[in-house]
């Protein structure tokens, strides 16, 4: 199986699209195109694609409240990216296996596989 971390692929897809053309539909189309490209290159070796996502609140925050608190600030529109990340989940879940579990990040789930 090919396990893909949802958030970084959506974010990379978002920034690949020219700013004037960025919207939920263009990101959705490009996301599926990229997944199809990955699958067509590697499915004969590794199998089908599975998408894994972050559920939101990480268990790490319970243990260490400052987890990811010291990340450098930048000028990117993370609010818009957050909306796109939330909005795309349902259409993606309709087409691809998508796994997310409460309090786990995608990396935790990938570790299970």
Query: Mean pLDDT in runs of 10 for the chain (113 residues)?
Result: 94 89 91 95 94 82 76 77 92 94 86 80
Q: What is the pLDDT of residue 80?
A: 87
Integer-rounded Cα radius of gyration of the chain: 15
pTM recorded for the entire structure: 0.83
33: tokens are 């195109």
54: tokens are 């972050």
Using alpha carbons, select from 93, 92, 2, 106 the residue that is nearest to residue 50: 2
Per DSSP, helices labelled H in the chain are 6-16, 24-46, 59-63, 78-95, 106-112
70: tokens are 């010291």
Q: What is the pLDDT of residue 104?
A: 84
């Amino acid at each position: 199986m090919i396990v893909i971390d949802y958030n970084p692929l959506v974010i990379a897809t978002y920034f690949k699209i020219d700013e004037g053309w960025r919207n939920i539909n263009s990101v959705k189309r490009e996301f599926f195109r990229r997944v199809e490209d990955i699958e067509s290159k590697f499915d004969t070796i590794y199998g089908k694609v599975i998408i894994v996502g972050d559920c939101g609140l990480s268990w790490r925050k319970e243990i260490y409240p400052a987890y990811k608190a010291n990340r450098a600030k930048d000028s990117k529109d993370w609010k818009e990216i957050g909306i796109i990340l939330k909005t795309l989940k349902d259409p993606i879940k309709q087409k691809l296996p998508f796994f997310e579990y409460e309090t786990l990040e995608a990396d935790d789930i990938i570790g299970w596989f």
